[in-house]
């Protein structure tokens, strides 16, 4: 930062002996000082933005906040969260090392299930198709055991709502209060062929919203694209500390927010 402020000549060879110093010097043209803090200008599809250049003593705390406290997301998503805020040399390597040695991530890691063939669903815009499904867990301290998950198929944006049951009236109320009133009416609403998703009240709600109800083949229940987020949310909840697992519903909203803050392939 002193070099940028003073306009001093380039550092000598001896001053660039460390790998970090050399990498920082390469980025010199991108650095700017704002209100006494050093930032790196980075270009993305939406235009330039600024990353705070983080000194070594603060990096561990940043990784703890953006990994441990954001649901123990994987390497790619955690790197995206860190990169959207901070810069330091070899950041991606530090993130990978952090997660590789994270006790709760290692403990949670398991061999992936063999998935049934997915139905090939194509979408090209937001709200073209909203997928919904129930995720069931062990009852918490309030005897809550269900989560209604609603996901935009194109953007992958997810909404997850803990519910007292899986009744059609509960589905309709959550769908209206937690999704439709916030984001608008989709063209199609997709679910499996569960009784409560195929009820008369859901049909009437779809008629009111002007959307078409579609469903997954009973032979391929994994054809519902919300299944992927369900696995992610289960994994995130699985990393909660033991004392927090009896009140998992308190963490559903912040963990879903953490997921939505990361980049998805569209």
Share of the chain above pLDDT 70, in %: 84
How far apart are alpha carbons 223 and 231 in whole angstroms? 14
* Residues 133 and 231 placed together within one structural domain of the fold: yes
Please state the pTM of the whole predicted model: 0.66
Could you tell me if residue 59 is inside a domain? yes
Residue 152 maps to a domain: yes
CATH code: domain of residue 140: 3.30.420.10
Last residue of a domain, one of 47, 79, 108: 108
Domain end marker among 76, 108, 140? 108
Q: Establish if 119 belongs to a structural domain.
A: no
Task: Tell me, rounded to whole angstroms, the distance of Cα 196 from its chain centroid.
Answer: 28
Residues 140, 90, single domain; the answer is no
Task: Tell me what percent of the residues of the chain surpass a pLDDT of 90.
Answer: 51
Q: Are residues 196 and 164 in the same domain?
A: yes
Short-list 76, 36, 70, CA closest to 52: 36
244 shares its domain with 172: yes
Asked whether residue 115 is assigned to any structural domain, the reply reads no
Indicate if 72 and 149 belong to the same structural domain: no
Q: Same structural domain for residues 195 and 101?
A: no
Q: Mark which of 53, 76, 108 sits at the end of a domain.
A: 108
CA 145 and chain centroid, separation? 22
Q: Long-range contacts of range 99-103, CB-CB < 8 Å, 24 or more positions apart?
A: 99/67, 99/72, 99/74, 99/75, 102/67, 102/68, 102/72
With vertex at residue 166, the alpha carbon angle to CA 112 and CA 248, rounded to the nearest 5 degrees, is 55
Helix, strand and coil content of the chain, in percent to the nearest 5, comes to: 45, 20, 35
Higher-pLDDT residue of 15, 44? 44
> CA separation (Å) from 161 to 70, 99, 213, 253?
18, 28, 20, 8
pLDDT over 80 at 127, yes or no? yes
Residues 36 and 82 in one domain: yes
Looking at the structure, tell me whether residues 140 and 246 fall in a common domain.
yes
Give the tens place of pLDDT for each residue, 40-77.
999 887 788 899 999 999 999 999 999 988 888 888 88
Distance CA 24, CA 228 (A): 39
Tell me: do 40 and 87 sit in the same domain. Answer: yes
Is residue 51 in a domain?
Answer: yes
Number of domains the chain is built from: 2
Find the length of the chain: 266
Q: Is 73 a domain residue?
A: yes
Tell the burial category of 258 from Cβ atoms under 10 Å away from its Cβ (0-12, 13-18, 19+).
buried
- Measure the CA–CA gap between 120 and 262, rounded to whole angstroms: 24
Number of H helices, E strands in the chain: 11, 9
Q: Check residue 103 and give its pLDDT.
A: 81
In a domain, 118, yes or no: no
The pLDDT score that the predictor gives to residue 119 is 54
> Is residue 241 pLDDT above 70, yes or no?
yes
Asked whether residue 36 falls in the same domain as residue 94, the answer is: yes
CATH number at residue 102: 1.10.340.70
Same domain, 84 and 142: no
CB 135 within 8 A of CB 233: yes
188 located within any domain: yes
Q: Which two tokens stand for residue 212?
A: 């078409």
Q: Which domain holds residue 92?
A: 2-108
pLDDT greater than 60 at residue 118 = no
Alpha carbon 227 to chain centroid distance?
A: 14
Q: What pLDDT digit, counting tens, does each position of 132-150 carry?
A: 999 988 888 888 999 999 9
Domain co-membership, 140 together with 226: yes
């Amino acid at each position: 930062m002193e070099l940028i402020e003073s306009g001093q000549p380039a550092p000598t060879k001896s001053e660039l002996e460390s790998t970090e110093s050399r990498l920082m010097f390469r980025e010199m043209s991108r650095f700017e000082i704002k209100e006494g803090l050093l930032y790196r200008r980075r270009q993305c599809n939406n235009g330039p933005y600024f990353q705070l250049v983080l000194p070594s003593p603060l990096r561990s705390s940043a990784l703890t906040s953006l990994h441990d406290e954001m649901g123990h997301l994987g390497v790619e998503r955690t790197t995206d969260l860190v990169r959207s805020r901070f810069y330091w040399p070899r950041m991606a390597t530090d993130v990978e090392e952090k997660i590789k040695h994270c006790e709760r991530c290692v403990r949670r890691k398991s061999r992936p299930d063999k998935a049934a063939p997915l139905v090939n669903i194509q979408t090209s815009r937001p709200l073209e198709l909203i997928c919904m499904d129930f995720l069931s867990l062990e009852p918490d301290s309030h005897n809550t055991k269900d989560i209604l998950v609603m996901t935009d198929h194109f953007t992958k944006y997810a909404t997850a709502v803990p519910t007292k049951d899986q009744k059609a009236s509960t589905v309709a109320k959550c769908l209206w209060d937690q999704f439709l009133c916030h984001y608008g009416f989709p063209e199609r609403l997709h679910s499996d062929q569960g009784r409560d998703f195929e009820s008369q009240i859901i049909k009437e709600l779809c008629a009111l919203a002007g959307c078409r109800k579609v469903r997954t083949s009973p032979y391929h229940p994994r054809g519902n694209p919300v299944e992927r987020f369900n696995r992610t949310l289960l994994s995130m909840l699985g990393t909660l500390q033991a004392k927090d697992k009896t009140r998992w519903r308190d963490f559903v909203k912040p963990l879903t927010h953490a997921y939505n803050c990361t980049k998805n392939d569209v």
